[in-house]
Amino acid sequence: MRGLYAIVDPDRCAGRDPVEVASAILRGGCALIQVRAKRMPDRERLALVRAVRARAKEHGVPFVVNDRPDLALLVDADGLHLGQDDLPIAEARRIVGRMMIGRSTHDLAQLRAAMHEGANLVGFGPVFATKSKENPDPVVGLEGLARAVRVARVPIVAIGGITEASAPGVARTGVALGAAIAAIGEARDPEQTARALHLALGGGEG
């Protein structure tokens, strides 16, 4: 699996309907799509997750829910993504079973811990400066990302400040996927931007 790991965040959609943004991204092309809606009330979040899950299924794209194993289970998601402050993977696994679980990491110690816990894929970054997180961790850069790829025994998802211009360099480190949030959600044309990023990161045409 290679290419764009698209993350849809209602706060990073330039005021547009996140379901429509997700639909545009799926038309453009991506390897996986995730919904991240940390500040949304549960009922609204469930409706959003359910709607994007349905569209992802239409396009044959695996769908991932951020933070919430209960919502992932409710919508029959393909995966669950957990941050450093979220549930331990073993506890989440008791809820979601064999579902793919990813973990965000920011240094090699966290990466090794995530693999030891049983993560199926690991996010690593921020690779570049990012505006998608209020208190970002220190930038790891392409060299740090390449080191993570060498250490990893599971697919690595590069995250943090990835743009169409920087994507080829990210892909050359050997990562499986590159994640984008604001770069696509706030783009004038999310469909075209997703297509360009997916191709630049080594994915096929959408």
Q: Check the annotation: does 36 bind a ligand.
A: yes
pLDDT at 204: 78
pLDDT at 206: 44
**Taking the model in full, what pTM does it have?**
0.96
Q: Check the annotation: does 34 bind a ligand.
A: yes
Residue 51 pLDDT > 80, yes or no?
yes
Contact 118, 125 (CB under 8 A): no
Q: Check the annotation: does 37 bind a ligand.
A: yes
pLDDT at 119: 99
Residue 163 lies in a domain: yes
Which CATH number is 59's domain given? 3.20.20.70
pLDDT average, residue stretch 113-137: 90
- What values do phi and psi take at 157, rounded to 5? -110, 115
pLDDT average, residue stretch 174-199: 98
Q: Model confidence over 63-110: pLDDT tens digits?
A: 999 999 999 999 999 999 999 999 999 999 999 999 999 999 999 999
Q: Model confidence over 150-180: pLDDT tens digits?
A: 999 999 999 999 999 999 999 999 999 999 9
Residue 147 lies in a domain: no
Dig out the tokens for 169 from the structure. 């360099």
Residue 205 lies in a domain: no
Residue 181 pLDDT > 50, yes or no?
yes
Separation CA 123–CA 143 (nearest Å): 15
Residue 10 lies in a domain: yes
Residue 41 lies in a domain: yes
Residue 49 pLDDT > 50, yes or no?
yes
Q: Check the annotation: does 178 bind a ligand.
A: no
Catalytic residues: 36, 104, 133
Considering the chain, what is the average pLDDT of its residues? Answer: 96
Residue 138 lies in a domain: no
Residue 196 lies in a domain: yes
pLDDT at 136: 77
Residue 183 pLDDT > 50, yes or no?
yes
Three-state SS for the chain is CCEEEEEECHHHCCCCCHHHHHHHHHHHCCCEEEECCCCCCHHHHHHHHHHHHHHHHHHCCCEEEECCHHHHHHCCCCEEEECCCCCCHHHHHHHHCCCEEEEEECCHHHHHHHHHHCCCEEEECCCCCCCCCCCCCCCCHHHHHHHHHHHCCCCEEECCCCCCCCHHHHHHCCCCEEEECHHHHCCCCHHHHHHHHHHHCCCCCC
Residue 20 lies in a domain: yes
The count of domains in the chain is 1
Q: Check the annotation: does 166 bind a ligand.
A: no
Dig out the tokens for 97 from the structure. 């079973």
Domain housing 181: 3-101+158-200
Q: Model confidence over 128-143: pLDDT tens digits?
A: 998 766 677 899 999 9
Q: Check the annotation: does 70 bind a ligand.
A: no
Residue 7 pLDDT > 60, yes or no?
yes
